[in-house]
Amino acid sequence: MTDDRRLTPRSEDFAAWYNEVVLRAELADYSPVRGSMVIRPWGYGIWENMQRALDDLFKETGHENAYFPLLIPMSFIEKEKEHVEGFKPELAVVTHAGGKDLEEPLVIRPTSETIIYSMYSKWVQSYRDLPLLLNQWANVMRWELRTRLFLRTSEFLWQEGHTAHATAEEAEEETRRMLGVYRTFMEEWIAMPPLTGLKSESEKFAGAVRSYSCEALMQDNRALQAGTSHFLGQNFAKQFDLTFQSEAGEEEYAWNTSWGVSTRLVGGMVLTHGDDDGVVVPPRLAPAQVVVVPIARGEDGGAVREKAESLRLQLKDAGVRVRVDARDHLSPGAKFYEWERKGVPIRLEVGPKDLAKEQVVLVNRVELEGEKRKQFLPEDEAVKSLPGRLDRLQAHLLARAVQRREENTRRGAASIDELADHFEDGAGFVYTGWSGDPGVEEEVKERTKATIRCIPDPDFRSSTPPERCVGGEKAEMEVVWARAY
């Protein structure tokens, strides 16, 4: 007899495991509209905590929130040649509304550079109006052919920052600053440590001068592009006449940046930390950091429920997000299974015997070094220790992810053959030299299905730079290759 609660093991079929765990942890479900998803309350609660943390980081760096329209005139999209070519296959277009054909088709927002910079051109007249630092939280539509919940859907939620500056130097500084904000957030909240660096010309954002990205390594050793930050130069400013009068009295075009992350981060969290029992949610993102399960039987049921509520109030006062699962129609075992699957960081159990002993049963979602997953603790000790335990669990998840990334990184492949061998052996990130020749990049992609994820920032470069490109020429730079989502 098969256990219908069992998930496909990651080692057996990682893709099947991912889809099952997202559905059965109630993070999301399939929408009736092809390629779209419904984000369920537990999944949306995780996204809300991501939003709150990122929004605070954006505001700390001087940004304000605004909102721009969902529908964009097709003529706007077509103004920037690289931009339209990059997005054309993914555009969803409205041609009919109000019972008649539209005079001009309207594109459902794939990204907002065009509509935002057209508005900036109205608002900016002088250098005194700069920098203009805005962000919006919105949904976008990109008509994807192959979709996966959270990782790649036709409609998804995101934030997109768009800024205008008086000089190229200020805009470049902003681009790098926001890349750093993303790295901080991914490390400190998601416990998902990314590499950061410059994208190659073939991998950059359509319409950008330079694109930088955060590349995180998932448990199946595929890379996830988790966030991007783009130096747009004056490309969009010239198309939308975004000019300002400089301090010297000259009319100049503004310099722009854009940067964004999306609900893909929820998928990245699952792929980074999940196990064969379900999702593992880092404490800083968990909608409920602790769930209290009263095991109420017979005449002791009322007292057990009262104790569960007392624990909830004590933990709430300590700043812990906590829920009591007092559902009568489910057995304790069914509740344990559900919260394990959803990845709540810590579970507290309390029953009649625990009341008598003034103790609780504490169960960590993952095993911490030097601790048993299940412990019997005095009530006061358990409550006082919870904030520190959550911090240790958060740090443990980050350390574990960093260790896995480093263990699955290879350096120094001297040829495409060696590079291919690394990927055949299951490598994640592979560092090599590169001449900058796009022909080499294309050959590697054809042979290995790997792409250049980034030209790594100094923090992530090898101590001894490679001298030769994998194509045989002199190396001009070091790059990181990976197979990617």
Residues 177 and 115 in one domain: yes
* CA neighbor of 304 nearest in space, from 330, 324, 329, 318: 324
CB 176 within 8 A of CB 212: yes
Residues 373 and 417 in one domain: no
C-alpha distances (whole Å) from 428 to each of 178, 404, 421 are 26, 10, 12
State the Cα torsion 236-181-149-37 to the nearest 10°: -70
Residue 3 lies in a domain: no
- Residue 279 has what pLDDT? 98
Residues 169 and 307 in one domain: no
Residues 478 and 433 in one domain: yes
- Residue 298 has what pLDDT? 74
CB 46 within 8 A of CB 286: yes
- For 315-325, write each residue's pLDDT tens digit: 999 999 999 99
Residue 398 lies in a domain: no
C-alpha distances (whole Å) from 22 to each of 42, 328, 466 are 10, 26, 41
Does residue 211 surpass a pLDDT of 80?
yes
Indicate the residue among 328, 363, 390 that finishes a domain. Answer: 390
297: left (phi over 0), alpha (psi -120 to 50) or beta: beta
CATH assignment of the domain containing 459: 3.30.110.30
CB 217 within 8 A of CB 476: no
Residues 81 and 121 in one domain: yes
Contacts of 372 (CB under 8 A, 6+ apart): none
Q: What is the pTM of this model?
A: 0.96
Q: Which amino acid is at 139?
A: N
* CA neighbor of 448 nearest in space, from 478, 475, 473, 413: 413
C-alpha distances (whole Å) from 307 to each of 132, 326, 328, 376, 383 are 53, 12, 16, 16, 12
Residues 220 and 294 in one domain: no
Pairwise CA distance, residues 398 & 106, whole Å: 44
Work out the average pLDDT over 354-368. 96
CB 305 within 8 A of CB 296: yes
Residues 237 and 309 in one domain: no
331 CB-contact burial (10 Å; exposed 0-12 / middle 13-18 / buried 19+) = exposed
- Residue 87 has what pLDDT? 75
pLDDT, mean over the chain? 95
Indicate the residue among 273, 307, 328 that finishes a domain. Answer: 273
Domain interval for residue 215: 14-273
CATH assignment of the domain containing 381: 3.40.50.800
- For 44-98, write each residue's pLDDT tens digit: 999 999 999 999 999 999 999 999 999 999 999 888 667 667 677 889 999 999 9
Structural domain count of the chain: 3
CB 480 within 8 A of CB 429: yes
CB 117 within 8 A of CB 256: yes
Residues 427 and 383 in one domain: no
- Residue 400 has what pLDDT? 98
- Residue 75 has what pLDDT? 93
Question: Percent of the chain scored above 90 by pLDDT?
Answer: 92
Contacts 24+ apart (CB under 8 A), 296-305: 296/326, 296/351, 297/351, 297/352, 300/351, 300/352, 300/355, 303/352, 303/355, 304/350, 304/351, 304/352, 304/355
Contacts of 330 (CB under 8 A, 6+ apart): 338
* CA neighbor of 472 nearest in space, from 408, 414, 397: 414
CATH assignment of the domain containing 262: 3.30.930.10
